[in-house]
Chain A
């Protein structure tokens, strides 16, 4: 279970955590009328099988892991009204690797330090501080019936129904086979040899299998410092690309440590973090340089789109409420 992240405690060494693909998390929640940073179930590559003991409305966003309800394919990126005793299951991974299941009303679990996010290493947050297991029974908050009524009316399938609309597909193009990731040169970029800098911009870096929520270990031509130099431990963040002495970079992800001591060659633009989250081990990343101003500009463009979607959905659900 992950939400928008646990902020305010990094000075105590408590990591931010939160969804790997924040955009898919936010969209999932908005689609079912929740606050955008509510907790959702984060599914990495292999999906669970879930029996619904109550009626609910959910949205599946992020990776396409062939979701099905009662063995019939269920569309993503839109609200789906699910009847009691239905079974949600997942199959082959078609695109991407991380999906989100967002439930209208949100999961009924307590927050720890202001967040629902699971922090496995410290055994806190989420569902008793651990990953979900077989036979866990997760309560969710009951929503008003209006949401259910509205979504029920459009298309019917056995045990579930959904409206004819979904999010505009161009907005959730989160997958590319060998994505080009836009990054800003990092604070220690100048420490690297000219050859290594060229390598960084021109050659691919493959995501290795020893990658997890904390960071993606990349493999490529080694990146070398001009002189051996030690960095005093300092803050690192989601998307920081740090380079340990052997020269293979580590791209820090949602469960990154609060501080690190390896030279930081680059920082990924926030808007491209979902692309990386959805890239599986084996995928090659290419890096393209952009300025801080451009990264900020792209971030604002994305936020404007999110706000527009939020307003549209609010009107949609509000209209229903008034009927």
Chain B
């Protein structure tokens, strides 16, 4: 079966600085826009221009960083305009597939207890049992829209709004690595120990960020993930396994 391809929808270009151009596709979080951003990023990766540095995909934008000195041929041209022109040229070659085949990954999570100290709060907010919160959280496929905030931290789309919860009034000074949390209608995983204000419902033994091994971020924008509930003894066994590796 061949995937359907379509032309890129309209986008706007603007400068973030003298070293970055933003490609913006509308204002809504949805799969269509996400697929465009992923397709554009892939094309840019395959056909980078002289002076290209890196790109950052986000919900509705792809930001392209460049070295103005190289792009402008030693300060002799308008680097910002040249990059915009290149992006326009490239856009005609971008093929957006309506049927992407995302990587499907599972994230084992030990819910509740010391690993998820706020799960009772989330359950009370929702008027559900603890088990119902776990069942709902672990029965959906989530899309990784972008990685940001901290190394390997995924912004996930697709959480059931029944378990939405406000952030904590006072952020915790330390959140252990691997913590799975909820903030509003978003859910996410903290890859490294950081301060943070999300309601914590569980923890994964997986290392989501490893600076010594590629890919440094276990999750990438475009991935599809699902949480799998595990017991504490499984958590400990997996944790041991991952740390011995």
Residues of A within 8 A of B (CB): 7-15, 112-113, 121-124, 184, 187, 232-240, 257-259, 264, 267, 269-270, 292-293, 295-296, 299-301, 303-304
| B75→A303 contact, CB < 8 A | yes
Query: Nearest Cβ distance between residue A314 and chain B, in whole angstroms?
Result: 17
| B192→A259 contact, CB < 8 A | no
| B221→A11 contact, CB < 8 A | yes
- Choose one: A7, A235, A296; the contact of B16 (CB below 8 Å): A235
| B69→A303 contact, CB < 8 A | yes
Binary flags per residue of B11-39, CB closer than 8 Å to A gives 1, else 0: 00011111110100001010000000000
Q: Which of B88-96, B115-123, B141-149, B225-233 lies at the interface with chain A?
A: B141-149
Query: Nearest Cβ distance between residue B181 and chain A, in whole angstroms?
Result: 16
B58 partner residues in chain A, CB cutoff 8 A = 232-235, 259
| B78→A296 contact, CB < 8 A | yes
A303 partner residues in chain B, CB cutoff 8 A = 69, 75
Contact A296 to B68, CB < 8 A, known contacts A122-B151, A122-B192, A187-B22: yes
A112 partner residues in chain B, CB cutoff 8 A = 211
B194 partner residues in chain A, CB cutoff 8 A = 121
- Choose one: B15, B18, B216; the contact of A9 (CB below 8 Å): B216
B20 partner residues in chain A, CB cutoff 8 A = 235, 237
- Choose one: A11, A113, A269, A299; the contact of B56 (CB below 8 Å): A11
Complex: chain A residue closest to B53, CB-CB: A7
- Choose one: A113, A292, A301; the contact of B80 (CB below 8 Å): A292
Beyond A13-B209, A237-B65, 9 additional contacts (C-beta under 8 Å) are: A10-B54, A12-B152, A12-B215, A121-B150, A233-B58, A233-B149, A233-B155, A235-B16, A295-B17
Contact A300 to B80, CB < 8 A, known contacts A10-B56, A13-B150, A13-B152: no
B151 partner residues in chain A, CB cutoff 8 A = 9, 12-15, 122
| A269→B18 contact, CB < 8 A | yes
By CB atoms of chain A within 10 A, which of B18, B150, B215, B217 has the most?
B18
Residue B198 interfacial (CB < 8 Å)? no
A295 partner residues in chain B, CB cutoff 8 A = 17-18
A-B contacts counted at CB < 8 A amount to: 136
B56 partner residues in chain A, CB cutoff 8 A = 10-11, 235, 258-259
A-B interface, 3 closest residue pairs, ranked by CB to CB distance from nearest? A300-B75, A259-B148, A235-B63
| A11→B57 contact, CB < 8 A | yes
| B27→A232 contact, CB < 8 A | yes
20 pairs, CB–CB < 8 Å, chain A vs chain B: A7-B54, A7-B65, A8-B54, A9-B216, A13-B191, A121-B150, A121-B192, A187-B22, A234-B59, A234-B63, A235-B22, A235-B63, A237-B65, A264-B16, A267-B16, A270-B19, A293-B80, A299-B18, A300-B72, A301-B75
In whole angstroms, what is the CA distance A292 to B146 when docked?
A: 28
Query: Nearest Cβ distance between residue B74 and chain A, in whole angstroms?
Result: 8
In whole angstroms, what is the CA distance A121 to B151 when docked?
A: 10
Residue B55 interfacial (CB < 8 Å)? yes
- Choose one: A233, A238, A293, A300; the contact of B148 (CB below 8 Å): A233
Contact A237 to B211, CB < 8 A, known contacts A9-B216, A122-B192, A257-B148: no
Complex: chain B residue closest to A267, CB-CB: B17
| A292→B60 contact, CB < 8 A | no
B55 partner residues in chain A, CB cutoff 8 A = 11
- Choose one: B60, B61, B69, B216; the contact of A12 (CB below 8 Å): B216
- Choose one: A7, A14, A123, A238; the contact of B216 (CB below 8 Å): A14
Using a CB-CB cutoff of 8 Å, which residues 41-57 of chain B contact chain A?
41, 53-57
B80 partner residues in chain A, CB cutoff 8 A = 292-293, 296
A12 partner residues in chain B, CB cutoff 8 A = 147, 151-152, 209, 215-217, 220
Query: Nearest Cβ distance between residue B14 and chain A, in whole angstroms?
Result: 6
By CB atoms of chain A within 10 A, which of B17, B72, B80 has the most?
B17
In whole angstroms, what is the CA distance A32 to B132 when docked?
A: 65
A299 partner residues in chain B, CB cutoff 8 A = 18, 68-69
Residue B79 interfacial (CB < 8 Å)? yes
B63 partner residues in chain A, CB cutoff 8 A = 234-235
Query: Nearest Cβ distance between residue B68 and chain A, in whole angstroms?
Result: 6
B147 partner residues in chain A, CB cutoff 8 A = 11-13, 258
Residue B153 interfacial (CB < 8 Å)? yes
B221 partner residues in chain A, CB cutoff 8 A = 11
